[in-house]
Amino acid sequence: MSRPPRAPWRRLLPILALAAATAAVALPDPAAAQAERRDTLIVGTMWESLPLSMKPRRSRFFNESEILDTLIKLDYDMNLVPGLATTWERTSPTVWHLHLREGVTFHDGTPLDAAAVKNSLERVTALLPYAADLLNIARIDATRPLDLEIETSEPFAALPNQLTDAITVVYAPGSFDAQGQFVTPVGTGPWRFVDYVKQDRTVVERFDGYWGNAPTLKKVIYRYIPDHNSRSLALETGEIDFATNLPPADVERLEADPNFKVYTAPTAGLYYGAFNTVGDTPLADPRVRLALNALVDRDILVKGALDGIGAPAYEFFAPQFPWVPKGVEPYKVDPAEAAALLTQAGYTKQDGRWQRDGKPLTLRILSYSSRTEMSAITEALAALLANAGIASDVQLFTWEGMLDLVRRGDYDISVVFWTPEMTGHPDLHLKSQFHSKAEMNFQGWSNPAFDALVDEGRTLDPGAEWTATYREALEILQKDAPILPLVHKVFVVASSDDVQGYRIHPSAFFFDFKNVSKSE
């Protein structure tokens, strides 16, 4: 006769006890961890930093995080200030002379000299076609150890501004391998690249040999949290100290919470709808484009899509920047005017819907969800158009997915975000996106008068002629309406309340964490 077996769970007890003991031993020492935590800033970012690649978003991360420096920088008033170059002078219409800063070393110990800068610029223009377009460099010479001469292929007064662009950061020769391919970011910045875990984090540490004010913090960890709501949740649970690109919906709540600080400031940046202007699209007709600009009430859009955090945009450049030429007439919301334009273009309104030849006016709108606000803005745009009787067919992809369709011309409006004011000079965006020959002009928009003005503008020094030229170019932009400006960017980040010293930089791409510290 067999006995009933012993309860099986009794056999598990020793195993459970062992597991508990192991867990207790494996837990890290709390005191040491806390000290390190105080010297570390954990930042939650929207996009992966990808420090081992030069291509993504024009290597913006290296400049944002200050692993590398640009030759010239912008201060908090968007004035050009010395970076790795202390002076710059235009010795002839096509030649610039730059004098470099003394006593600067790269993270690997090699000194910064003109040869290194020449090598870096040449590598950048070779590896990134966009950079070649931007800088227009015909020849670079290291005339003396700390002196650089740059000759541009055409007269280019805007070169110093372009040299503040993140793509022009100065890489040490050790950043490239024997074949000239990019390997790792070795720079002159206050932060040294230390570690990268794919899909998770990038770690930088303080570089004590930095040429400027050394940071207070010892380490910054950039954690990749692509889901926008998870990112702000991570801030609230204490997993990160600093959340970038905060969803507007969280601003009010976090501002009311004493444990957090919310920073908002207008910066460079414009959300706009880029029109497809060629091919079989209703937007090939400029009257339709102007009608849309007169129909969409950006004030309502900002309230509905962004909880009011943003400035309604009725013109291209944000008006708060002093260098923007004044006197350009912004769009006005005028439904009657819009209706007149659409009628001129051959559309009639029946049962509240605009149509032509029996087919309703329908616009294919594309955007991307990888940036926080795009989905809401696109939806709001579609809703406002629907209220006005224009149907739409909206699809969201990632940036690359949308770009694929845009390149094929398979769209009517693509809602995008760019930072045209980033370099403190109009040339950046006007030349690289709206010029008919620009590589990134996916809209097919071509206006010879505009092209001529932009080509002229980059040769002029700031002054009356410069202002007049760019004003005229912007007026063409308004009248021919290749885009639907929507919202001027108001930058939103949040941190826990022990983070001190952070300030939003108006270029929107510069964290400046060297001034940041954590209080007790």
Partner 1 sequence: MPAGLRRSRSDLGYRRVVLRRPGGVTLLAVMFLLLVLFGPQLAPYDPTLTDILNRLAAPGWDHLLGTDAMGRDMLSRLLYGARLTTVAALAVVLVTAAFGTLVGLAAGYGGGWFDSLAMRFVEGVSVLPALAVSLVIAGIFGLGLKAVLIALAAVHWTEYARVVRNLTVVERNKPYVLAAQAIGAPGWRIVARHLLPNVGGPLLVLGAYSLSWVILAFAGLSFLGLGVEPGTPEWGRMIAEARSHMRSYPRLVLAPGLSIMAFVILINLLGDILGDRWRVDQVFSPNRNQRNP
Partner 2 sequence: MPGSLATSLLHRLLSSAGLLVAVSVVGFALLRLMPGDFAEVLLSAQMDGELPSAEALAAYAADQGFDDPLPLQYLRWLGNALTGDLGVSLITGDAVTQEVLLRLGNSFILAFAALTLSLVIALPLALATVRFRNGLFDRLSAAVAVLGMSIPNFWYALLLALVFSLTLGWLPSSGYGTWQHAVLPTLVIGTSVCGVTTRYIRSLLLDEAGRPYMRTAAAKGLTPLSALLRHALPNAAPAIVTLAGLQLARIFDGVIIVETLFGWPGIGRLLVESLLSRDFPLMQATFLVIAVGYVAINLLVDLTVAGLDPRVREAV
Binding positions for partner 1, rule: CB under 8 A: 228-229, 247-250, 252-253, 300-301, 303-305, 369, 375-376, 378-380, 382-384, 386-387, 393-397
In the complex, the smallest distance separating the C-beta of residue 124 from partner 2, rounded to whole angstroms, is: 14
- Which among partner 2, partner 1, none contacts residue 47 (Cβ within 5 to 8 A by kind)? none
Q: How many other C-beta atoms can be found within 10 angstroms of the C-beta atom of residue 433? A: 20
Query: Interface residues with partner 2 (CB under 8 A)?
Result: 1-2, 4-5, 8, 53, 129, 197-200, 223-227, 230, 233-234, 236-239, 369, 396-401, 403-405, 407-408, 439
Q: Torsions phi, psi of 375, nearest 5? A: -60, -45
CB 214 within 8 A of CB 231: no
End-to-end Cα, the chain, rounded Å: 71
Q: Tell me how far apart the alpha carbons of residues 451 and 511 are, in angstroms, rounded to a whole number.
A: 34
Instruction: Give the distance between the most distant pair of CA atoms in the chain.
Output: 109
**Closer residue to partner 2 in complex, CB, 144/198:** 198
In the complex, the smallest distance separating the C-beta of residue 235 from partner 2, rounded to whole angstroms, is: 10
- Which among partner 2, partner 1, none contacts residue 489 (Cβ within 5 to 8 A by kind)? none
Q: Tell me how far apart the alpha carbons of residues 374 and 56 are, in angstroms, rounded to a whole number.
A: 19
Both tokens assigned to 145: 């150890």
Q: Tell me how far apart the alpha carbons of residues 354 and 362 are, in angstroms, rounded to a whole number.
A: 9
**Closer residue to partner 1 in complex, CB, 84/301:** 301
- Which among partner 2, partner 1, none contacts residue 379 (Cβ within 5 to 8 A by kind)? partner 1
- Which among partner 2, partner 1, none contacts residue 484 (Cβ within 5 to 8 A by kind)? none
In the complex, the smallest distance separating the C-beta of residue 376 from partner 1, rounded to whole angstroms, is: 7
In the complex, the smallest distance separating the C-beta of residue 265 from partner 2, rounded to whole angstroms, is: 27
CB 515 within 8 A of CB 503: yes
- Which among partner 1, partner 2, none contacts residue 403 (Cβ within 5 to 8 A by kind)? partner 2
Residue 185 CB contacts under 8 Å (≥ 6 apart), including other chains: 51, 62, 67, 68, 171, 175, 193
**Closer residue to partner 2 in complex, CB, 224/316:** 224
Both tokens assigned to 374: 């795009």
**Closer residue to partner 2 in complex, CB, 333/405:** 405
- Which among partner 2, partner 1, none contacts residue 303 (Cβ within 5 to 8 A by kind)? partner 1
**Closer residue to partner 2 in complex, CB, 89/227:** 227
In the complex, the smallest distance separating the C-beta of residue 379 from partner 1, rounded to whole angstroms, is: 4
Q: 3-state DSSP call for residue 297?
A: coil
Cα–Cα distances (Å) from 428 to 158, 168, 272, 360, in that order, read: 9, 13, 16, 38
- Which among partner 2, partner 1, none contacts residue 200 (Cβ within 5 to 8 A by kind)? partner 2
Residue 253 CB contacts under 8 Å (≥ 6 apart), including other chains: none
In the complex, the smallest distance separating the C-beta of residue 287 from partner 2, rounded to whole angstroms, is: 30
Reduced 3-state DSSP string for 223-249: EECCCHHHHHHHHHHCCCCEECCCCHH
